[in-house]
Amino acid sequence: MRHLMSPLDLSVEELDQLMDLANDIEKNPAKYAHACDGKRLATLFYEPSTRTRLSFEAAMMNLGGTVLGFSSADSSSASKGESVSDTIRVVSCFADICAMRHPKEGAPMVASMVSSIPVINAGDGGHQHPTQTLTDLLTIRSLKGRMDHLTIGLCGDLKFGRTVHSLINALVRYTGIKFILISPEELRVPDYIRDDVLRANQVPFEEVIKLEDALPSLDLLYMTRVQKERFFNEEDYVRMKDFYILDKAKMELAGPDMLVLHPLPRVNEIAVEVDQDPRAAYFKQVQYGVYARMALILTLLGIEVK
Ligand code: NCD
């Protein structure tokens, strides 16, 4: 039985297969409409979510399966003091696969150690968010036509942004990737990403503060929200929250093929006027997220559709 805790749980070949499957699902949805008949997905969300939870649920329903779960810790027995290990043992009796989001780093990993069904990490604290990465990779591959030889700008909260950590982890395995890390001093990527992932894999990267300096050289700009819920005090958040605002004027500094991605939710970091720009891909990215999760569910359940 396989779980998905980090994008590195899938080899590059497996990732390619998963993306081929996702693209086939996109082209032939009817072929997959009953692939998960009789199967059930549990969504255990101890932290708020719109996209990820609904995307998982839509993915399972598109495959003919059913879903059950909870969308906040308050509405689960966690509020009575139940451990994630006990919860997952119980849920294993009700479902065939589960997606878990938790504010504590490592909680889905703890669950996977005692689970008798596949567990998918749907975001653990400021750590990892592998299914957002599958979404991001599928978006990049589908819209750019390649995963290699890209200069990628990651902008915003690179310290607490788990989507950024997972994406860097996954992308360092492709050739010709260069990162420009754009953040205020206080929100730079954690040392373990800089040293153990980027430097250890000899991946070229630069760290800059001004978005304007990076824009002209990027193939892809990945914007992120300042992660309010991970700040220790409100004052620091307020000081940081509008540090970057991508607007029409800034988009003029970028090349004609630069894609703008964002895991969403957006707060102020992308002005709504940018939504009309053909380079804005963040809503398409949401749709790719459903195909990516459908492909993942099929893969982890070992279901092959002929
Ligand atoms: C991201 C997350 O939860 O980390 N959202 C998502 O799943 N699409 C990004 C964020 O909350 O800023």
The answer, yes or no, to whether any atom of ligand 1 lies below 6 A from the CB of 52, is yes
Q: How far apart are CA 102 and CA 113, in angstroms?
A: 16
Radius of gyration of the chain (CA): 19
Q: What is the pLDDT of residue 61?
A: 98
The answer, yes or no, to whether any atom of ligand 1 lies below 6 A from the CB of 51, is yes
Alpha carbon of 223 to ligand 1 centroid (Å): 11
Structure tokens at 68: 């059950």
Q: What is the pLDDT of residue 78?
A: 85
Question: Catalytic annotation on 2?
Answer: no
Alpha carbon of 157 to ligand 1 centroid (Å): 12
The answer, yes or no, to whether any atom of ligand 1 lies below 6 A from the CB of 150, is no
The atom of ligand 1 lying closest to the CA of 101 is 3
Q: Is the preceding peptide bond at 265 cis, omega within 30 degrees of 0?
A: yes
Give the residue carrying structure tokens 């966690």.
78
Q: Which helix (H) or strand (E) holds 157?
A: none
Question: Catalytic annotation on 129?
Answer: yes
Q: How far apart are CA 174 and CA 193, in angstroms?
A: 16
The atom of ligand 1 lying closest to the CA of 135 is 8
Q: How far apart are CA 124 and CA 138, in angstroms?
A: 21
DSSP-derived secondary structure letter, 189: P
Alpha carbon of 129 to ligand 1 centroid (Å): 8
Give nearest CA residue, ligand 1 atom 1: 263
Give nearest CA residue, ligand 1 atom 6: 263
**Exposed / middle / buried, residue 24 (Cβ in 10 Å: 0-12, 13-18, 19+):** middle
The answer, yes or no, to whether any atom of ligand 1 lies below 6 A from the CB of 6, is no
Q: What's the pTM value of the predicted model, to 2 decimals?
A: 0.96
Give nearest CA residue, ligand 1 atom 8: 263
Best residue among 52, 133, 228 to mutate for probing ligand 1's pocket (most ligand atoms within 8 Å of CB) is 52
Q: What is the pLDDT of residue 50?
A: 87
Q: What is the pLDDT of residue 115?
A: 97
Question: Catalytic annotation on 52?
Answer: yes
Question: Catalytic annotation on 159?
Answer: no
Alpha carbon of 274 to ligand 1 centroid (Å): 20
Q: How many CB atoms lie within 10 A of CB 282?
A: 19
Catalytic residue among 2, 51, 173, 241: 51
Nearest to 69 by CA among 38, 101, 37: 101
> How far is Cα of residue 192 from the mean position of the Cα atoms in its chain?
19
The answer, yes or no, to whether any atom of ligand 1 lies below 6 A from the CB of 131, is no
The atom of ligand 1 lying closest to the CA of 161 is 4
Q: What is the pLDDT of residue 80?
A: 86
Give pLDDT tens digits along the chain (306 positions).
Answer: 999 999 999 999 999 999 999 999 999 999 999 999 999 999 999 998 988 999 999 999 999 999 999 999 888 888 888 899 999 999 999 999 999 999 999 999 999 999 999 999 999 999 999 999 999 999 999 999 999 999 999 999 999 999 999 999 999 999 999 999 999 999 999 999 999 999 999 999 999 999 999 999 999 999 999 999 888 889 999 999 999 999 999 999 999 999 999 999 999 999 999 999 999 999 999 999 999 999 999 999 999 998
